[in-house]
Amino acid sequence: MANILSNVMSKSPWIVHVNCNSCNGCDIELLACLTPIYDAERLGVLNVGTPKQADIMVVTGSVNHKNINMLKNIYEQMPSPKAVVAIGACASTGGVFHNCYNVIGGVDEVVPVDVYVPGCCPRPEAILDGIMQAADILEKKRLDNKG
Amino acid sequence: MIYILKILLVMILSPVAGCLLKGLDRKITARLQHREGPPILQPFYDFLKLISKENIAVSKYQNIFVLIYFMFAAASLLMMFFQMDLLMIICVFTISNVALITAGMSTGSPYSKVGSEREIISMLCYEPVLVFFIVEMYMLTGSFRISSIDHLDKPLIFYMPLAFLSMLYIMLIKFKKSPFDLSSSHHAHQELVKGIMTEFSGPALAVIELTHWYEAIFLLGLMFIFAKQYTLLGLAIAAFTYIFAIIIDNISARLTWQWMLKFTWTVVIELTIVNLLGIYFLNLKAL
Amino acid sequence: MGANISLLIAVPIIFSLLFLIKTDKKYYKVLSILLCSVSAVLSIALAISGEQHLTISGNLFDLSESLIFIFEATIVIYLFYSSIKNRKWFALFLTVIMALLSIYTSFFTPKAENAILNIDKLSIVMVLIINIVGTLIVMFSIEYMPHYEQHNNIKSRQKFYYFMICIFLSAMNGLVLSDSLLWIYFFWEVTTVCSFVLISYNNNGAAINSGFRALVINLAGGICFLTGILLFKNTMHIVTLSQIIDARAAGPLFMLPVALLCIAGFTKSAQLPFQSWLLGAMVAPTPVSALLHSSTMVKAGVYLIVKLSPAYAKTPLGEAIAIYGGLTFLICSAIAITQRNAKRVLAYSTISNLGLIISSAGIGSSIAVSAAIMLIIFHSVSKALLFLCTGQIEQVIGSRDIEDMSGLIRRAPVITILAAFGMLSMILPPFGVLITKWVSIEASASNPFVTIFLILGSAFTSAFWIKWLGTILSYPVNDLRPKLPVNFTTYFPLGILGLIILGTSLMITPIFNKFVSPEVIELLKSRNQLSGSFGKVYSYLGSFNVTVIFLIIIAMFIIYLFIKKLILSPDIKKVYLCGENNTKNNADLKFREGGGALQDPVVSNLYFNNILSEKGLTIAGFAASLAIIAFMVTGGII
């Protein structure tokens, strides 16, 4: 019985996928996670479209002046406890584009990132691993909030 | 005293059954798609997670509608178990639907508003068929009360085959499964973001999920009525309906509301009316 | 208590003259409050004193007859003058026919000895509605009319307005209290003229045309009425309504005048194919629409048809009336979905509900007639509230379009909540309108064609109410305090009407047992198979337990008190607009589009204009309804 009631957050991590500036490579790999071969749903992962119902924000692509407000808005509309996973090199640090004139940098310039999944682009297994680690961090955050 | 016990039993066991049914739904869907799928208790984990989230909203008063939605759906399920007047039960069930539609519109989000509009169209489609089914039940048994079916010798489905087909069809609409998951899609089939539910989260969404479990049992109960005197046959019909909905969900794509409206009002309602006139003219009285 | 009855007719006339004295808002305020209180007292006193049967004879009768003759002559002369002045030749033609028929009736038929007043439960209920709801509407006009005249650039005619409204109230009282057919006809014609005059209030082209359209159709109905009366008088020596009810199918020639009276009722209640006058009448000021065209005058038509129900119960004429009412119910509900103008939606909704009443009356069983009478009561109150709210909304936002009312709860929370309550009372249990719809469906279930119409019509009904309800609530509002000045004469009637809706729904079984059931038993001379006790309305068909719903609502309140913190204090976030809502506060639901400009997301309702067309449905309705009416008339002869 105790097993059912523990790890509440990590058993049902719902993600919202935000594409900031990505070439769509990381996005395709992320969506591949949801296909039958990698099947994220067996871990309870659901791609919900609205940040209000999501626990984990999965970000691809770097941040520039045009999308910085968009990213902030979506992050603010998520209820706590929430976590952010930065997928790919561009989301982590800006990747190849980090010195470009319009690129501000990685996602951690705007929102606090919990898990970085490096790669260009990372494999679906790595992405899933990152999401599950974020789910465990979520559970920790929930227990911290409660206690 | 027995009443209170019965009420508690229904109130507690129905959501458990509904939760397991939803879990089975996701598991079977997954297996049909050649993948593992979540554990059967996954809806329960989702529910617990949602309760532990922060309570957010866009409008201070939107959660009142969720409460109304929940209370009246649970109440209509309870009334069905007490075998009261079926037309009254549908009227009470309408309150919860109206509450859900109004909840969607009250958030002011354009996505929920479109979702609510489509839900109104869904209501336009399924309500006549439901009430025709009830009137045909009356014509056969002489009363609108569910308890009066016990006097019949043959199960209702024997006299109402066309109505059964129509009810199967509108169960697809009521369960919000493809091809009619227009107003609020479940489980990552997104159109209009999440439709009506876009701006609901946390504990409010948990209550909505709970209500969906009650609603699932209620709808299957409506199908159970087709063979109420023979419990096993009734349960088989209910199970068949649910499996049918899951399979059709997986093999069809979402259709437009115009198609749904046209098809329902030209084919399905006609089927039910033919059944009604058939009962009337053949003077079938199952008593 | 003859004094009570004569007061009911005389008091509004006295007030009508009092209103003519000054044009001053304060003075009107005092007068309207006085009128409200006096009328309420009189009508409640009548309700308490119960059923009565009075005969007016002798000098009083001669005096009344002369007065009636003088007023009739005045009406005819006025109509002549008006038709000629506005060059409405068809109206003139109908007035001539009416005048000729009236002269024939007055001089060439045997004179009546006396007049009968029959006050039964239905009359008492109608008197309560006219005097309480009606006078509340008068109170509402105090604040409304100055704004209305200013907005429409009309020279002030308020004295005339209040004068005609009070005359109208008096005529309605007389109509429901009388039993003698000729007196009913006289009051009927007075209400026609009041309607004509009040619809043309704006004195511009559209108003005058609508007024004459209403006049023409109602005059035609009046002529049918008078013809029916003459047939009754000359061939069967029937001069009162009670005699018709008692005679009951006394030969083949009996059905034709009954059919003619019913047709008069159809014209008064704006059924298909006569509905165009009611839609045109929406140009009138909203209190006029609320009073005449939803709560009282159109109810006079269905009142007559319900009173006649024993005459045609279980006959082919009754079946035809049931199908006819169902047809109107279905078609007008379907058309209402396509309308964007709020008052037209309300008008079509009124017509379809009247069709439902007529259909229930036509079915003729005790359960069905109970449904008809109950719907008269509940519909009057709910519709009055909705019309008044629409009028006030129109003055707040300056538009009647439903799309412009989107998010009204932000601008005018009090009005929105009242209007939402009114709309909910039309479609949901535990409110009376839905309970009577439930009774109607159960009562009609033995006649499959009527049932089909009723079920399909109810589906449409819910659709347009929910659409409108959602639209006015559609804004993420966080503060429900009143934003506009709340003045007494506007909000008191709205509040009282809301309380009446709540009260009548709570007291549905006492109202049923005290007013509706005895009336049905008296009309149909048989046991009422519908019963009600402790909030449960039941019959051999089924039962509706209204108490259960109230218990659920109470349970909800208790749960709400416990989790109040959870429900009412969430963290407020912005609406999801894909992250593009870059404005500082949530008060403006704007988003920044590609070029950088700020845009409003606009979602409008669906009006199904390419699936349902008002024109197509109206033509279909015309054809079908004319066929049924032809059957009613010729079937009577054959």
* Structure tokens, C594: 């590609």
| Rounded Cα gap, residues B280 and C433, in angstroms | 28
The angle subtended at Cα B188 by Cα B186 and Cα B192, nearest 5°, is: 80
Chains contacting B with at least 3 CB pairs below 8 Å?
A, C
Residues of B in contact with C466 (CB under 8 A): 98, 101-102, 120, 123
| Rounded Cα gap, residues B53 and B37, in angstroms | 24
The sign one gets for the Cα dihedral B113, B114, B119, B121 is positive
**DSSP SS3 for C412:** coil
| Rounded Cα gap, residues B151 and B159, in angstroms | 14
Q: Would you place residue C566 in the very low, low, confident or very high pLDDT band (cuts 50, 70, 90)? A: low
At a CB cut-off of 8 Å and minimum separation 6, what does A30 contact?
A: A17, A58, A60, A87, A124, A127
| Rounded Cα gap, residues C208 and C195, in angstroms | 12
Does pLDDT of B286 surpass 60? Answer: no
pLDDT at C312: 87
Q: By the CB < 8 Å criterion, does B66 face chain A?
A: no
- Burial annotation C450-469 (CB, 10 A radius, 16+ → b, else e): bbbbbbbbbbbbbbbbbbbb
Domain that holds residue B85: 2-281
Is residue B223 packed enough to be buried (19+ CB in 10 Å), middle (13-18) or exposed (0-12)?
A: buried
Residues of B in contact with C428 (CB under 8 A): 91, 94-95, 98
Helices C297-307 and C255-268: angle between axes, nearest 10 degrees? 160
Amino acid identity of residue C442, one-letter, is E
Does pLDDT of B187 surpass 80? Answer: no
- C12 close to C291: Cβ distance less than 8 angstroms: no
Q: Which of B69, B74, B78 is nearest to B146 (CA)?
A: B78
Task: Tell me, letter by letter, the H, E, C secondary structure of chain A.
Answer: CHHHHCCCCCCCCEEEEEECCCCCHHHHHHHHHCCCCCCHHHHCCEECCCHHHCCEEEEECCEECCCHHHHHHHHHCCCCCCEEEEEHHHHHHCHHHCCCCCEEECHHHCCCCCEEECCCCCCHHHHHHHHHHHHHHHHHHHHHHHC
* Structure tokens, C363: 């079915």
Instruction: Indicate yes or no: CB of C542 within 8 angstroms of CB of B132.
Output: no
In this prediction, residues C342-369 reach a mean pLDDT of 94
Phi, psi of B212 (to 5 degrees): -60, -35
Q: Which of C371, C237, C205, C377 is nearest to C296 (CA)?
A: C377
Instruction: Indicate yes or no: CB of C580 within 8 angstroms of CB of A76.
Output: no
Of the partner residues A52, A73, A79, the one whose CB lies closest to the CB of residue C579 = A73
ipTM of predicted assembly, 2 dp: 0.93
Q: Would you place residue C249 in the very low, low, confident or very high pLDDT band (cuts 50, 70, 90)? A: low
Tell me which of B34, B50, B53 to substitute to probe the interface with A (most A C-beta atoms closer than 10 Å).
B53
In this prediction, residues B106-116 reach a mean pLDDT of 90
239-278 of B, contacting C, C-beta below 8 A: 258, 261-262, 269, 273, 276-277
pLDDT tens, position by position, C471-528: 999 888 888 888 888 888 889 999 999 999 999 998 898 899 989 888 888 888 888 8
Residues of A in contact with B53 (CB under 8 A): 55, 79-81
Instruction: Indicate yes or no: CB of A73 within 8 angstroms of CB of C573.
Output: no
Residues of A in contact with B187 (CB under 8 A): 46
User: B23 vs chain A: nearest CA distance in angstroms?
Assistant: 11
Instruction: Indicate yes or no: CB of B144 within 8 angstroms of CB of C542.
Output: yes
pLDDT at C158: 87
pLDDT at A1: 47
570-589 of C, contacting A, C-beta below 8 A: 571, 573-574, 576, 578-582
Return the number of CB contacts < 8 Å for B and C: 199
| Rounded Cα gap, residues B133 and B128, in angstroms | 9
Q: What does each C-alpha distance from C284 to A109, B263, C489 come to in angstroms?
A: 63, 41, 20
A121: cis peptide before it, omega within 30°? Answer: yes
Q: Could you tell me how many residues make up chain A?
A: 147
| Rounded Cα gap, residues C365 and C107, in angstroms | 40
**DSSP SS3 for C56:** strand
Task: Tell me, letter by letter, the H, E, C secondary structure of chain B.
Answer: CHHHHHHHHHHHHHHHHHHHHHHHHHHHHHHHCCCCCCCCCHHHHHHHHHHCCCCEECCCCHHHHHHHHHHHHHHHHHHHHCCCEHHHHHHHHHHHHHHHHHHHHHCCCHHHHHHHHHHHHHHHHHHHHHHHHHHHHHHHHCCCEHHHHHHCCCCHHHHCHHHHHHHHHHHHHHCCCCCCCCCCCCCCCCCCCCHHHHHCCHHHHHHHHHHHHHHHHHHHHHHHHHHCCCHHHHHHHHHHHHHHHHHHHHHCCCCCHHHHHHHHHHHHHHHHHHHHHHHHHCCCCCC
Q: Which helix (H) or strand (E) holds C111?
A: none
| Rounded Cα gap, residues C319 and C447, in angstroms | 9
In this prediction, residues C72-100 reach a mean pLDDT of 91
In a domain, B287, yes or no: no
Average pLDDT, chain B: 90
Q: Which of B20, B123, A128, A96 is nearest to C461 (CA)?
A: B123
| Rounded Cα gap, residues C614 and A117, in angstroms | 60
State how many domains chain B has: 1
Domains of chain A: 17-142 (3.40.50.12280)
Tell me which of C423, C440, C466, C531 to substitute to probe the interface with B (most B C-beta atoms closer than 10 Å).
C466
Instruction: Indicate yes or no: CB of A9 within 8 angstroms of CB of B205.
Output: no
pLDDT at C457: 93
The angle subtended at Cα C176 by Cα C440 and Cα C286, nearest 5°, is: 75
In a domain, B286, yes or no: no
| Rounded Cα gap, residues B67 and B73, in angstroms | 10
35-54 of B, contacting C, C-beta below 8 A: 54
pLDDT tens, position by position, C425-456: 999 988 999 999 999 999 998 788 899 999 99
User: B79 vs chain C: nearest CA distance in angstroms?
Assistant: 9
B179: cis peptide before it, omega within 30°? Answer: yes
pLDDT at B248: 93
Of the partner residues A44, A53, A79, the one whose CB lies closest to the CB of residue B42 = A44
Residue % of chain A over a pLDDT of 70: 96
Tell me which of B27, B41, B47, B49 to substitute to probe the interface with A (most A C-beta atoms closer than 10 Å).
B49
DSSP state for residue C596 in the 8-state scheme: S
Does pLDDT of C630 surpass 60? Answer: yes
| Rounded Cα gap, residues C385 and C432, in angstroms | 14
Of the partner residues B35, B45, B190, the one whose CB lies closest to the CB of residue A39 = B35
Nearest residue of chain C to residue B66 (CA atoms): C567
Beta-carbon neighbour count of residue C257 at 10 Å? 25
| Rounded Cα gap, residues C604 and C614, in angstroms | 19
Average pLDDT, chain C: 88
* Structure tokens, C35: 């009128």
User: Which of A6-20, C3-17, C377-391 has the largest mean confidence?
Assistant: C377-391
Chains contacting A with at least 3 CB pairs below 8 Å?
B, C
Residue % of chain B over a pLDDT of 70: 98
Residues of B in contact with A35 (CB under 8 A): 35
DSSP state for residue C341 in the 8-state scheme: B
Q: By the CB < 8 Å criterion, does C558 face chain A?
A: no
Residues of B in contact with C471 (CB under 8 A): 105
Is residue C267 packed enough to be buried (19+ CB in 10 Å), middle (13-18) or exposed (0-12)?
A: buried
Of the partner residues B120, B198, B258, the one whose CB lies closest to the CB of residue C576 = B198
At a CB cut-off of 8 Å and minimum separation 6, what does B167 contact?
A: B129, B130, B133, B222, B223, B226
Phi, psi of C366 (to 5 degrees): -65, -35
A124: cis peptide before it, omega within 30°? Answer: no
In this prediction, residues C257-268 reach a mean pLDDT of 92
- Percent composition of chain C: helix, strand, coil (DSSP 3-state, to 5): 75, 5, 20
Tell me which of A74, A77, A80, A111 to substitute to probe the interface with C (most C C-beta atoms closer than 10 Å).
A77
| Rounded Cα gap, residues B42 and B97, in angstroms | 26
Q: State the residue for tokens 């009073």.
A: C291
Instruction: State the virtual CA torsion across C482, C486, C491, C492 in degrees, nearest 10.
Output: 120
Question: What pTM was computed for the model?
Answer: 0.93
In this prediction, residues C384-409 reach a mean pLDDT of 92
pLDDT at B179: 87
Q: State the residue for tokens 């049923």.
A: C512
Residue % of chain C over a pLDDT of 70: 97
| Rounded Cα gap, residues B264 and B177, in angstroms | 16
Is residue C565 packed enough to be buried (19+ CB in 10 Å), middle (13-18) or exposed (0-12)?
A: exposed
Residues of B in contact with A81 (CB under 8 A): 53-54
Q: Which of C256, C298, C262, C295 is nearest to C277 (CA)?
A: C298
- Domain residue ranges of chain C, discontinuous segments joined by +: 1-312, 315-570+604-638
| Rounded Cα gap, residues C61 and A122, in angstroms | 101
